[in-house]
Amino acid sequence: MPETRPVYLLPGLRSPFARIDRELSRFDALKLSIPVVQQTVAGPRGTGVDGSGEVDMVVWGAVVPNIGISNWAREVWLDAGLDPHVPAWTTVQQCATSLAAATQAASTIRIGHGDLALCGGVDSMSDTPIGLSKGLSRALRRAGSARGTGAALRQLRKIRPKYVRLAIPAVKERSTRKSMGEHCEEMAKRWSIPREDQDRYAVDSHRKAVAGSSDGFFRSLLVSPGTFPVDADPMPRSDTSFEALSALRPVFDRQSGTLTAGNSSPLTDGAACCWVAGDAGLDRLPDSLPRVRLLDWEQAAIDPRTEGLLIAPAIAIPRLLVRNGLSYDQIDLWEIHEAFAAQVLCTIAALESPEWMKERAQVTDGLGEFPRDRVNPNGGSISIGHPFGATGARILSQCAAELASRPAGTRAVVSVCAAGGLGHVALLEAV
């Protein structure tokens, strides 16, 4: 690797994550983002940068479109009442959006174009816009621009019954017209992932998230109590059991499927952010913030039509490790996004497959046995929730907080699969 400036990752704050149309449904994406950004910038007890211009860049993203906002980063920053002279831009990479925001900022800082970046993302699935059919939209637009009431009425009379329908967004791949769940069902069948294993994985995710909440792990990662109607993530369930999840019916393939509402991540509202800094940027942040090195990152893509939509991290991870001379056993912490339990288990199965490693990842040397017991020690998206644009920053902050408590030199891998057949992974190290 070329000699470059060191880059660090520090946890930011996030909102609680809540199921669609529940506790956070009255907060749109801006209202979710603003207090998260304001409190992160202010820092613990007001010790932060206070929007004084010490932030060099803001990178933010949202997956759900908004007709009135094109540059989410700029609008969030301005509405938060912070320094208007800070450049801000938006990135979108589906579920990996805020991880991509962090690595974009890291690339910029590495080459000396800034020292401190605030990165994150948001999605309000409760506020998903509903569009009009093209015919109805065209007729209304022409009526609105008509000169005089009579002309407007003539345009409105051109509306046909077939025009009167709504365009409701769906979580589907444009290239395949299949949902994420349908694609994951195909992956589960291809990799022979049993329903029992998926349900046990989901139960374990809830158990870890509940423990993380009970022991206070999440407290420093959440905005101040009273900011939102709930002060903690409402979705992790202490009463979730294997027996309860086993009783649920498949959702995406009702005849022979294995994916259920219980072993899949729920549609979620939430916002999250993190800090990316160079050495000079660290000096602008509170000493109390945990910090880890962001060593390297990797992206990969597969053909979503033929290869398994969410399997790309199983290409990116081996490439990342080989480039850094590491094996699986040398990674002490794995933070893997849980779009579905089956997707995580398929990824691990691929990482353990010599054929996959050689043919798809183009890695010929074995990387060892994958340490399943080191995955998501404080729970993941199945139990915590998955607001698309916020998930990457949630995972990065969670990983940084956990990793910083371990000895220097301890390493972690963050992995996020994304729609379009993409995978984005990062390598972190305790300092």
CATH of the domain at 378: 3.40.47.10
Average pLDDT, the chain: 94
Residues 82, 98, single domain; the answer is yes
- Calpha distance 264→274 (Å, rounded): 25
Average pLDDT over residues 320-345: 98
Residues 60, 189, single domain; the answer is no
Q: Radius of gyration (Cα) for the chain, nearest Å?
A: 22
CA 91 to chain centre: 12
Q: Does 109 have pLDDT greater than 80? A: yes
How would you classify the pairing of strands 422-430 and 292-301? antiparallel
Please give the structure tokens belonging to residue 18: 């809540």
Ramachandran region, residue 43 (left: φ > 0; alpha: ψ -120 to 50; beta: rest): left
Residues 344, 272, single domain; the answer is no
Residue tagged active-site, from 183, 337, 386, 424: 386
Residues 119, 25, single domain; the answer is yes
What is the model's pLDDT at position 170? 65
Residues 194, 106, single domain; the answer is no
399 is catalytic: no
**Does this model's pTM top 0.85?**
yes
Residues 302, 401, single domain; the answer is yes
Confidence at 311, pLDDT banded by 50, 70, 90: very high
Please give the structure tokens belonging to residue 346: 């398929």
Which helix or strand (DSSP H or E) is residue 119 part of? strand 116-124
Domain containing residue 343 = 180-221+236-266+295-430
Q: Residue 161 domain-assigned? A: no
- b/e 256-272 (16+ beta carbons within 10 angstroms → b): ebbbbebbbbbbbbbbb
Please give the structure tokens belonging to residue 223: 């905005």
Q: Residue 60 domain-assigned? A: yes
Beta strands, E only, 220-290: 268-277
Q: Does 166 have pLDDT greater than 80? A: no
Query: How many distinct structural domains can be found in the chain?
Result: 2
Which residue in the block uniquely carries the two structure tokens 């910038």?
41
Q: Does 325 have pLDDT greater than 80? A: yes
Beta strands, E only, 302-396: 333-336
Confidence at 2, pLDDT banded by 50, 70, 90: very low
Confidence at 74, pLDDT banded by 50, 70, 90: very high
Q: Does 33 have pLDDT greater than 80? A: yes
Task: Check residue 428 and report its DSSP letter.
Answer: E
Residues 347, 386, single domain; the answer is yes
386 is catalytic: yes
What is the model's pLDDT at position 139? 81
What is the model's pLDDT at position 1? 43
Residues 337, 424, single domain; the answer is yes
What is the model's pLDDT at position 3? 52
Residues 51, 191, single domain; the answer is no
Q: Residue 68 domain-assigned? A: yes
- Calpha distance 396→101 (Å, rounded): 11
Q: Does 421 have pLDDT greater than 90? A: yes
CA 307 to chain centre: 22
- Calpha distance 278→79 (Å, rounded): 26
**How many separate helices (H) and strands (E) can be counted in the chain?**
14, 12
Average pLDDT over residues 323-340: 98
CA 198 to chain centre: 21
Q: Does 248 have pLDDT greater than 70? A: yes
What is the model's pLDDT at position 49? 85
Residues 194, 276, single domain; the answer is no
Q: Residue 136 domain-assigned? A: no
Residues 117, 193, single domain; the answer is no
Residue tagged active-site, from 95, 273, 346, 399: 95
Residues 16, 97, single domain; the answer is yes
Collapsed DSSP state (helix, strand, coil) of residue 66: strand
What is the model's pLDDT at position 30? 97
Which helix or strand (DSSP H or E) is residue 397 part of? helix 388-403
- Calpha distance 147→145 (Å, rounded): 7
Angle between helices 134-145 and 149-156 (to 10 degrees): 170
Average pLDDT over residues 270-290: 96
Average pLDDT over residues 351-369: 93
Across 169-178, 233-242, 265-274, least confident range: 169-178
For residue 82, give the nearest of 118, 107, 108, 106 by alpha carbon: 118
